[in-house]
């Protein structure tokens, strides 16, 4: 049995800051990296155990927030100061979930210094409120009060989402999916074949002490156990590897852009698929990349520059505006990797599970439909559109495809995709299931434009 990790005040301060930043910085692992770098933890021996604690907090966030409500009497933890909220989240996790995994170097000092920091930065009484709440944790037990509470405690997802999966695939299969979301996934990278060979990357990873395995689905994808410091990785900094999951890498292969073609990516940031399509095009042709998120588009621009890509033109614009900006019937291929609930990535992004909102699903489905309408305008007759999401919800996948085929069926047809993953609920579409394929959840539908508008 492993010895409990000894947490010092500095460790706790770093966790509090990482948790606080995770509310504004997405993905949460970027907030964690930024905070850990600031506290001198990133890449040190402290990084793995503290990263494990951070992800534990993210995984249990919805339950932790209900404990905050219970102990403070607040209707929502978001009514509290962000620093107080972050400090309570950290200590509640340490006290209720990590008691056997940690020991305090000096618990009294850690609580005292946290309280003093809160009183100086948040509110004069914040430190006192914090101490009073932490004292109550000694005898606190989490007890479900409703069937929804039981679902949330069992699967660590909002009850509505668990029930959606049960309705979609049945209780036994949903149980397997939801349990798969609790497993720590391997790190997945793709080799940039414009700069490196698979063998070169494998050798380098082995020299770094990793035990890499090559994907049987996408031969340029390599997986290995974390952690991995990308900031210090020569492979990453030189653009020889791209952070990308196997199903996401397959998307570009399914669309199959050729050298010299005109391609439009309607929701491109942060750029993994854009860069991959440019590789497949051997840096010949043009990719028009659209996205509304300025920060993520900067990451796309940095990525393609690092990867040696020169054919991408970027537009910080809504993809639905692309036909007006570029003109109609100008593209050979269009990728609609649509904004979605991203619930298929819950194992990779544990904080996301508690941001899933049932009310967002119909709004996202409408946006997805409108992006597909724009894609139909953009693509030439005979050209292809690939629609993908990293969601498991039928409302964002097959239902969107059914709607576009019903409304625009005279202009497009569904081109069947035959493996390598599972059939979707519409014949010819394809789904990736986390529990079956040991990767993120994903959906694909390939469409072809058959007539002029």
Active site residues: 390
Q: How crowded is residue 352: how many other Cβ atoms within 10 Å of its Cβ? A: 19
Q: For residues 335 and 264, give the distance between their C-alpha atoms in angstroms, rounded to a whole number.
A: 6
CA 255 to chain centre: 22
Q: Which residue shows structure tokens 């079956």? A: 436
**440 in Cβ contact with 434 (< 8 Å):** yes
Q: What value, to the nearest 5°, has the Cα angle with vertex 340 and ends 188 and 82?
A: 85
DSSP calls for 344-396: GGTTT-GGGGGG--TTHHHHHHHHHHHHHHHHHHHEEEEEEEEEEES---GGG
> Residue 413: which of 451, 379, 443, 377 has the closest Cα?
451
In angstroms, the CA 15 to CA 31 distance is 10
Residue 227 tokens, joined: 């952690």
- Quick one: 441 exposed, middle or buried, by C-beta within 10 A (0-12, 13-18, 19+)? buried
How many whole angstroms separate alpha carbon 148 and alpha carbon 279? 47
Q: Are 242 and 202 in contact (CB under 8 A)?
A: no
The residue assigned the tokens 């409703």 is 146
Spell out the residues 6+ positions from residue 199 whose beta carbon is closer than 8 angstroms to its own.
none
Angle, to 10 degrees, between the axis of helix 9-21 and the axis of helix 107-121? 40
Q: Give yes or no for a contact between 272 and 303, defined as CB atoms under 8 angstroms apart.
A: yes
- Tokens for 38? 């600031």
Residue with tokens 């653009």, as numbered in its chain: 239
Residue length of the chain: 453
Q: Tokens standing for 162?
A: 């668990």
């Amino acid at each position: 049995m492993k010895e409990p990790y000894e947490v010092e005040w500095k460790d706790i301060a770093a966790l509090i800051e990482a948790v606080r930043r995770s509310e504004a910085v997405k993905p949460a692992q970027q907030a964690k990296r930024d905070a850990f770098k600031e506290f001198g933890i990133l890449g040190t021996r402290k990084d793995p155990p503290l990263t494990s604690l951070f992800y534990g907090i993210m995984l249990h966030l919805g339950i932790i927030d209900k404990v905050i409500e219970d102990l403070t009497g607040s209707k929502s933890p978001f009514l509290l100061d962000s620093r107080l909220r972050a400090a309570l989240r950290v200590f509640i996790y340490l006290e209720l979930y990590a008691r056997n995994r940690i020991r305090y170097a000096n618990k009294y000092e850690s609580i005292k210094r946290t309280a003093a920091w809160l009183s100086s930065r948040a509110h004069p009484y914040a430190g006192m409120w914090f101490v009073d709440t932490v004292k109550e944790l000694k005898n606190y037990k989490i007890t479900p009060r409703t069937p929804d509470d039981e679902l949330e405690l069992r699967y660590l997802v909002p009850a509505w989402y668990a029930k959606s999966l049960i309705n979609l695939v049945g209780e036994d299969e949903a149980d397997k999916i939801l349990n798969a979301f609790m497993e720590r996934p391997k790190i997945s990278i793709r080799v940039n074949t414009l700069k490196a060979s698979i063998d070169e990357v494998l050798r380098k990873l082995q020299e770094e002490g990793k035990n890499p395995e090559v994907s049987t689905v996408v031969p340029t994808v390599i997986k290995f156990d974390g952690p991995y410091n990308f900031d210090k990785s020569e492979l990453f900094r030189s653009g020889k590897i791209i952070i990308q999951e196997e199903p996401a890498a397959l998307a570009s292969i399914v669309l199959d852009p050729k050298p010299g073609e005109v391609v439009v990516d309607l929701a491109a940031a942060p750029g993994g698929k854009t860069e991959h399509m440019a590789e497949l095009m051997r840096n010949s042709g043009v990719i028009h990349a659209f996205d509304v998120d300025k920060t993520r588009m900067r990451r796309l621009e940095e990525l393609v520059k690092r990867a040696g890509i020169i054919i991408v033109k970027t537009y910080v614009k809504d993809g639905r505006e692309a036909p007006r900006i570029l003109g109609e019937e100008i593209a050979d291929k269009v990728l609609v990797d649509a904004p979605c609930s991203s619930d298929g990535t819950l194992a990779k992004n544990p904080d996301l599970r508690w941001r899933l909102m049932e009310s967002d699903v119909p709004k996202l489905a409408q946006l997805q439909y409108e992006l597909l309408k724009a894609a139909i305008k953009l693509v030439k007759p005979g050209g292809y559109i690939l629609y993908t999401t990293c969601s498991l919800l039928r409302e964002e996948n097959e239902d969107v495809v059914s709607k576009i085929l019903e409304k625009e069926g005279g202009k497009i047809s569904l081109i069947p995709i035959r493996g390598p993953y599972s059939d979707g609920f519409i014949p010819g579409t394809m789904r990736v299931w986390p529990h079956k394929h040991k990767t993120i959840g994903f959906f694909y539908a390939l469409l072809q434009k058959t007539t002029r508008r």
